[in-house]
Amino acid sequence: MQGISACLKRMKKMAGIDLKELTKKKSPLTEGHRMCPGCGAPAAVRQGLMAVEDPVVIVGATGCLEVSTTVYPYSAWRVPFMHIAFENAGAGVSGGEAAHRVLSRKGAARKKIKFVAIGGDGGTYDIGLQSLSGALERGHDFTYICYNNQGYMNTGAQRSSATPVSANATTSPAGSVIPGKLERAKNLTEIVAAHDIPYDAQTTLHNPMDVIAKVKRAVETPGPAFVNILVPCPLFWKIDSCDQVKVCKLAADSRFWPVYEVIEGRHVLSYDPKTPVPIEDFLRAQGRYSHLFKKGKERTDLIAQGQADVEREWEKLLKKCSR
């Protein structure tokens, strides 16, 4: 079993990260970006890009991050940023990377540039999945970061295929007929792994070093790479904005959101909680699950099913990690 301190040491050694030096760097994303207080997306982007040393071009799918950081005529980005439609971030980053590769071969582009696409779960799990799949299959040299807040939060918290079962969303409302979303969330990290790409990872904001190290590794790996980062949306998860890290830690400690990597097809567990907490602790911390705990109408059956789902998926992951 691997604790958080051991995981931190491993990730620091793996990535060669000097946190003292990183604090001296300017973030590609400035202050004043107009994201909601406590939103996990800016934290994921800032942490993820902290240790990236090469110049980057950001391709942003339509979503919370894009609309809040590029309000015309302003931009909160210190690096080149290309706004792309909801459905084609994969195509946009592919075109940019291919063009730069051709120009470099002809001697017209002499600077090494890394291409990073960023999208929420709506633009990644759902609307942009076909475009992403094509880019992965073609083998373009880029990194895709999904800031996964488990719903279409920019347009009012509609459910996505990343929204967990039983969560309350505006298009799957919890009421007297249905208890929130009826379908389980799509496992996109494993769908990406099935493309047999060099690097694929899943993490959350409970451990900044893990986010920093995994994005750094993704960007430095030749070929396509994918990092799926669970980020809270305080407004629609119905949590206090100051509880962002606490809720992310509950997600990891309950094993609701396993933290792991897939390196050249090999699954590697990054964090194995010494004493896993029950899924109920993670659910109770969020107002979007409050209907499961309503006095006199508790849905203990759905909570038990949620725990069973976690146990089943965790065992599947351990087998893939040969543990």
User: Would you call the peptide bond into 73 cis, given omega within 30 degrees of 0 as the criterion?
Assistant: yes
DSSP state of 172: B
| Mean confidence (pLDDT) of the chain | 93
Percent of the chain with pLDDT over 70: 95
Q: What is the mean pLDDT of residues 248-275?
A: 97
Range of the structural domain that residue 14 is part of: 4-320
Number of domains in the chain: 1
pLDDT at 19: 79
pLDDT at 1: 39
Segment holding 229, helix H or strand E: strand 225-230
Q: What is the mean pLDDT of residues 147-165?
A: 96
Task: From residue 235, give the alpha-carbon distance in Å to each of 35, 179, 180, 259, 276.
Answer: 11, 20, 17, 24, 27
Using an 8 Å Cβ cutoff, are 116 and 142 in contact?
A: yes
Q: Is the pLDDT of residue 270 over 80?
A: yes
Q: Is the pLDDT of residue 77 over 50?
A: yes
Sheet holding 114-120, edge to edge: 81-84, 56-61, 114-120, 143-148, 225-230, 199-204, 259-263, 266-271
Give the type of residue at 39. Answer: C
Using an 8 Å Cβ cutoff, are 210 and 271 in contact?
A: yes
Q: Which of 51-60, 105-114, 138-147 has the highest mean pLDDT?
A: 138-147
- Three-state DSSP at 167 gives coil
Q: What is the CATH number of the domain that holds 88?
A: 3.40.50.970
Q: Is the pLDDT of residue 9 over 70?
A: no
**Which has the higher per-residue pLDDT, 262 or 37?**
262
pLDDT at 13: 53
Task: From residue 169, give the alpha-carbon distance in Å to each of 100, 188, 305.
Answer: 41, 20, 19
pLDDT band at 103 (very low <50, low <70, confident <90, very high): very high
pLDDT band at 252 (very low <50, low <70, confident <90, very high): very high
pLDDT band at 17 (very low <50, low <70, confident <90, very high): confident
Residue range 160-208, pLDDT digits in tens: 999 999 999 999 999 989 999 999 999 999 999 999 999 999 999 999 9
Cross-strand partners of 148: 230
pLDDT at 18: 81
Residue appearing with tokens 């939103």: 39
Return the number of other C-beta atoms located less than 10 Å from residue 241's C-beta: 13
pLDDT at 323: 62
> φ, ψ for residue 27 (rounded to 5)?
-75, 145
pLDDT at 15: 54
Cross-strand partners of 174: 179
- Three-state DSSP at 214 gives helix
